[in-house]
Amino acid sequence: MKEDNDRPCDGCMLPISTPSYDYSKCNFSLHKTRAELSRTSTIGFNETPSTLKLLLDRQWCHLCGRYSSGLLYSRRPYYFCLKCVAVDHN
């Protein structure tokens, strides 16, 4: 775990300025809060749980309309980026 990192978080693509996990073997960094996310989450008004997934390619977020890094919540056929899930839970 590192306190600073010049790289963006591979989970949410935002700069890392808080404690993070740096996986040097695979060149992957995550905010500590992203690394500790629940494996399932409910999003929006639908109580159907979504599952946290790491996909090999980028996917379109169905809430904000942007591509995610590949770490996102999935409730087929929908995908939700970590930024949208964090906003939905605040």
Q: Are residues 54 and 83 in the same domain?
A: yes
Q: Are residues 44 and 27 in the same domain?
A: no
Q: What is the pLDDT of residues 14-43, one digit of tens each?
A: 888 878 888 878 788 888 887 887 888 776
Domain count for the chain, please give it: 2
- Give the phi and the psi of residue 59 in degrees, each rounded to 5: -125, 155
Q: What range does the domain containing 84 cover?
A: 40-88
Non-local (6+) Cβ contacts of 66 within 8 A are 60, 81
Q: Are residues 28 and 50 in the same domain?
A: no
Eight-class DSSP state of 9: P
Q: Are residues 22 and 51 in the same domain?
A: no
Q: Looking at residue 83, what is its pLDDT?
A: 80
Please give the Cα distance from 20 to 80 (Å, whole number): 22
- Predicted model pTM: 0.66
